[in-house]
Amino acid sequence: MAGAGPAPKDPSRRARRNKEAQPQTILRFERAEAPELPDFRIEKDGELVEFVWPERTREWWQMWVDSPQAEHFGSTDWDFLLDTALIHARFWRGDMSVAAELRLRVAKHGATMEDRARLRMAFAEADDADGGKGSSGTETAKARYAKLRVVKPGEEGKPSGG
């Protein structure tokens, strides 16, 4: 199965501190706004005709525009995703030969839970949004731990009183 392996471990957490083969380049991040799906013409049977985006691709594009990942996309990310939209359109028009490429491309943007885990993405406000409840709607271990108290011998059956 094709695809990238796990993301590299943070150098500060490695058991061996071998020097990096190539130093890391730090870039200034500039968030880019999502472009609209463009209008353009394609050649069909020797003449230029208007390209029509499948409705499913328009919905897919809007999903990416609204996704939490989008706030971390720069201009090159949107350009790559725009090219991916063309592949998505081909797929939804019945060209199954592009399925593998489509899967690889959306994985680079964190499309599935597995992709986000590999990219070390997490939804930061998850526990805050549900009022201290875990993902299953139950109380979190941290909240249960806060309620623990020391029980002295002979107090086992007595109510805590507070």
Which single residue is written with the structure tokens 């731990």? 145
Residue 117 counted as domain residue: yes
How many domains would you assign to the chain?
1
Confidence bin at 142 (pLDDT 50/70/90): confident
Residue 88 counted as domain residue: yes
Residue 20 counted as domain residue: no
Residue 21 counted as domain residue: no
Confidence bin at 80 (pLDDT 50/70/90): very high
Confidence bin at 160 (pLDDT 50/70/90): low
Residue 104 counted as domain residue: yes
Q: What is the mean pLDDT of residues 36-49?
A: 91
Cβ 98 vs Cβ 90: under 8 Å? yes
pLDDT in the model for residue 159: 61
Residue 34 counted as domain residue: no
| 62 pLDDT higher than 60 | yes
23-34, pLDDT tens digit by residue? 888 888 899 999
Residue 80 counted as domain residue: yes
Q: Which domain holds residue 113?
A: 52-124
Q: 108-112, 115-119, 153-157: which range is least confident on average?
A: 153-157
pLDDT in the model for residue 68: 92
Cβ 53 vs Cβ 37: under 8 Å? yes
Q: What is the mean pLDDT of residues 26-48?
A: 91
Q: Is the pTM of this model over 0.85?
A: no
pLDDT in the model for residue 3: 62
Averaged pLDDT score across all residues of the chain: 84
Cβ 6 vs Cβ 118: under 8 Å? yes
Q: Are strands 47-50 and 41-44 parallel, antiparallel or unpaired?
A: antiparallel
Instruction: Report residue 47: phi and psi, to 5°.
Output: -130, 155
67-76, pLDDT tens digit by residue? 999 999 999 9
Residue 26 counted as domain residue: no
